[in-house]
Structure 1
Amino acid sequence: MILNKLQLGLQLLLLLGIVAAIAYVAICLFLFVRQPHYIFFPSHVIEKTPEFFNLSYEDVYLPVLTRSGKVEHIHGWWIKSNQPNTRVLLYLHGNGINIGANISHANRFYQLGFSVLLIDYRGYGRSEGVFPNEKRVYQDAATAWNYLVQQRQISPSQIFLYGHSLGGAIAIDLAVKVPEAAGLIVESSFTCIQELIAYRNLFRVFPVDLILTQRFASIKKLSQLKIPVLFIHGTVDSTVPSFMSQKLYAVAPEPKTLILVPGAEHNNVAVVANMEYLQWVKAFIQQVHIRRLSNII
């Protein structure tokens, strides 16, 4: 009888082990398929437009060809500067909401004399398409670049790339592909998704490296960068720690600049820094200008 109970107990343990293993594999498969939903948080509701700042702007819809041959359109705002220069900023926002949540910061660059193009990746705002993923947002950023160069006839040497948080990773990917761009500004961004997951102590019981498809491995790409780069990060950023910008800075080629903003969080760097933020960007623009002149001479 004791032997029968022991056998029954072992069989129960074996059954529980099998159930647990199946559940573990099922969760891994779920994370493999659904992981973009843990990275991207789009909204279709645009709560603020450039009109909020009395800015004249143009709605643009840029065609993107999908693998299936279907054409989808990404939406953006073209805000042309009224100042006599052709300097342009391609603004790539982070993983949340849409361009409507970024118009206030875009206005800062406009006040510095930039014409600004803000785009929403597919699945965000008024842009078409299914839920975003890493490959799609890279393609969307490249589409915006091509629009500026080919349709707007803007010289690549006059186009600066700006990316915040996840947008920083997208901007880095694009900057490596377009070495003729003027410069790159990366704000509050990370080294790679894998390190960010490890830092936050998320999904530690799962084989993250095996199931991760959305990598955004900026730190592996930066060695190929051919243009000046400015990194900005708040020192008390609880979303993306500032040491990640320090790591990005360490591997980026010269010319490069790193500015750490005391007391600034993930989304309020420019607010905390106030006028200093504009001075940093101005200084970076001047650095790029001097570099271009020296190359011509």
Structure 2
Amino acid sequence: MAIQINFFIRVLLGWNLRLAHRVVAVFLRLGLVLALLSTSGCAWLDGYQRQLIYRPTSGVPADFTGLRAGDERYVVSLPGAGAPQHIAIWWLPHATPDAPTLLYLHGTFRNLFENMHKIDALRAAGYSVLAVDYRGWGESSPITPSESTITQDAGMAWAELKKHQPIAKKRVIYGHSMGSGVAVDLASRLNSPMDYGGLVLESAFTNFTDVAHASGWLASLINLFNRERFAALEKIGQVQAPLLMLHGKRDDTVPIHLGERLFAAANSPKQWLAMDNAAHSDLDLVNPALYQATLQDFAASYLAIR
């Protein structure tokens, strides 16, 4: 902490030494308040942190004109006491009946409606897609999400995928950004090839703590009192399925070195693609031919029934 304080002071010296110390004092007080609230189990702080981390986008965009003919949108009710809640599911079958089926797990902020370009790219690569909006996003129940609710929703969506794809080897778990942590968690609780055939991670990270540290001091400060973890690095060793990881070399949201660390810890067989000129969410747009060819090769290598 002393090193961090000295760093802040050096940065602020360009303003005014007295002002620098005042600003640092304010942040120290803020940290103390956060610590006290956190240790006292303050529900307000917990909810505020989760809202800040996940930034869920609810509702349907005004310009949404519907899915393709043959696609389905429906909701699945969640069991449990209390007020009824549900998750929104999209079932998007490929024109080829025996295509592999991919569970699409999105990241923070954008819901399914705002991820259409990536979903379309996965379908163009030859996959049927079952996509889920976690509670808090899209047409799902409007709550402040948590790691617990998100992983529960992913499990419910996986149960739906199995209804649409009875062949285990043709089932694929896909996660982008935060969704990569959800995907690793789900995959670590399943068995391959008995339950599924492959895992695809795009713009993946090791855990929330590492992402916070890479994002700067303010994110690191908030993370000190954050209970959300998505510790993919701790769980990836439990995944025995074939793995494909894709990452943009210009990703400034999840630095590529975090993806490389996760890939290094994963079991074989595994494939890695680092895409030139791509950032965090645009790999399918920057080089669509390479993106789709990579996914097609993965399916041909590991998901085909021989």
- Assess same fold via TM > 0.5: yes
Q: What letter is aligned with 2:140? A: S
Structure 2 unaligned regions, length at least 5? 1-25, 39-44
Alpha-carbon contact 1:85-1:113 (below 8 Å) kept: no
CA offset at residue 45 of structure 1? 3.3
Structure 1 unaligned regions, length at least 5? 1-18
> Structure 1 residues 82, 96: closer, same or farther in 2, change over 3 A?
same
Alpha-carbon contact 2:100-2:299 (below 8 Å) kept: no
Deviations 1:155-181 (A, max 9, x none): 332211111100111111111112221
User: What does residue range 215-234 of structure 1 map to in structure 2 within 5 Å?
Assistant: 215-234=229-248
> Structure 1 residues 289, 77: closer, same or farther in 2, change over 3 A?
closer
Alpha-carbon contact 1:49-1:103 (below 8 Å) kept: no
> Structure 1 residues 75, 33: closer, same or farther in 2, change over 3 A?
closer
Match of 1:77, SS?
Answer: strand
TM-score by length of 2: 0.81
Alpha-carbon contact 2:47-2:144 (below 8 Å) kept: no
- In the alignment, structure 1 residue 25 sits paired with structure 2 residue 40: no
CA offset at residue 207 of structure 1? 8.2
**Residue in 2 that maps onto 1:34:** 48
Q: For residues 299 and 27 of structure 2, what CA distance do their matches in structure 1 show?
A: 57
> Structure 1 residues 205, 77: closer, same or farther in 2, change over 3 A?
closer
Deviations 1:10-35 (A, max 9, x none): xxxxxxxxx99875432232655522
**Residue in 2 that maps onto 1:167:** 179
CA offset at residue 286 of structure 1? 1.5
State the identity %.
29
CA offset at residue 154 of structure 1? 2.3
TM-score by length of 1: 0.83
Alpha-carbon contact 1:49-1:100 (below 8 Å) kept: yes
**Residue in 1 that maps onto 2:228:** 214
> Structure 1 residues 33, 132: closer, same or farther in 2, change over 3 A?
closer
Task: Find the partner of 1:276 among 290, 299, 303.
Answer: 290
Q: For residues 27 and 263 of structure 2, what CA distance do their matches in structure 1 show?
A: 43
Task: Find the partner of 2:218 among 191, 195, 203.
Answer: 203
**Residue in 2 that maps onto 1:250:** 264
- In the alignment, structure 1 residue 188 sits paired with structure 2 residue 203: yes
Match of 1:96, SS?
Answer: coil
**Residue in 1 that maps onto 2:168:** 156
Deviations 1:202-237 (A, max 9, x none): 33784844x220011111100100111111000011
Q: For residues 193 and 20 of structure 1, what CA distance do their matches in structure 2 show?
A: 22
Query: How many residue pairs get matched?
Result: 271
Q: CA RMSD in A?
A: 2.5
Q: Which has the larger radius of gyration?
A: 1
**Residue in 2 that maps onto 1:14:** none
**Residue in 2 that maps onto 1:262:** 276
- In the alignment, structure 1 residue 135 sits paired with structure 2 residue 148: yes
